[in-house]
Chain A
Amino acid sequence: AQSVTQLDSQVPVFEEAPVELRCNYSSSVSVYLFWYVQYPNQGLQLLLKYLSGSTLVKGINGFEAEFNKSQTSFHLRKPSVHISDTAEYFCAVTKNSGGSNYKLTFGKGTLLTVNP
């Protein structure tokens, strides 16, 4: 089974500052990794995903994440945040089984609050 740990439940930051949201995972098999964003009263939207290849992946809204296999981490970063980035961010994992469905296991989420 897979598990995901998001180390910070809340991250307050000022506008235009850089931010890093931390994610560590545990799995006995190879995995795919994802970051989702949830704005208030909405569903989850995919920000970015790591499937294979370059360990630095870029997503929407200027976010990027780096897959580190040795540290089993997939931290999300943005060099300069905006007020509109205020949302909850979820790290997720699914096993790379080549199967016909991809069941996601989510972390508990990190609430990013961007202050003016």
Chain B
Amino acid sequence: DAGVIQSPRHEVTEMGQEVTLRCKPISGHNSLFWYRQTMMRGLELLIYFNNNVPIDDSGMPEDRFSAKMPNASFSTLKIQPSEPRDSAVYFCASSLPVPGSNTFGSGTRLTVV
């Protein structure tokens, strides 16, 4: 298995532009999580899906952030419009309904200038 695949690995964009981050979970995993990692706040859970349905989006910082999971093999996290304070590493993780099965992607490093 190729693991959780995120794209792009790096993204540099100008303030005000739309940014879309992509994630392909491990086949067969039924839960998908989006995290944001910054020096100041550490790892924050933004949103998670169970069987493609959003369960908890209380971690999404603002309405500028949105996430979708149209099918079991693909999810997107969109920021529109982007701001410099959105600069961070964004991780996607997927899991089975088994504790400790969470598998993380390599992350997308987003820089908003």
Binding site for B on A (CB under 8 A): 32, 34, 36, 41-46, 49, 51, 90, 94, 96, 99-109
Are A101 and B105 in contact (CB-based, < 8 A)?
no
B75 at the interface (CB under 8 A from A): no
A44 touches which one: B45, B56, B100, B104 (CB < 8 A)?
Answer: B104
B45 touches which one: A49, A90, A103 (CB < 8 A)?
Answer: A103
The answer to whether A43 and B91 touch (CB under 8 A), given A101-B30, A109-B43, is yes
B102 at the interface (CB under 8 A from A): yes
Find residues 35-82 in chain B having any chain A CB closer than 8 Å to their own CB.
Answer: 42-43, 45, 48, 50, 55-56
Number of B residues with CB within 8 Å of any CB on chain A: 24
Are A49 and B48 in contact (CB-based, < 8 A)?
no
- Overall SS of chain B's interface: strand
Binding site for A on B (CB under 8 A): 4, 30-31, 33, 42-43, 45, 48, 50, 55-56, 91, 93, 95, 97-102, 104-107
Q: How far is the CB of A102 from chain B (nearest CB, A)?
A: 5
- Overall SS of chain A's interface: loop
- Contact sample, A vs B, 14 pairs, CB 8 Å cutoff: A34-B100, A42-B107, A43-B4, A43-B104, A43-B105, A43-B107, A51-B99, A102-B98, A102-B101, A103-B56, A104-B102, A105-B45, A106-B43, A108-B42
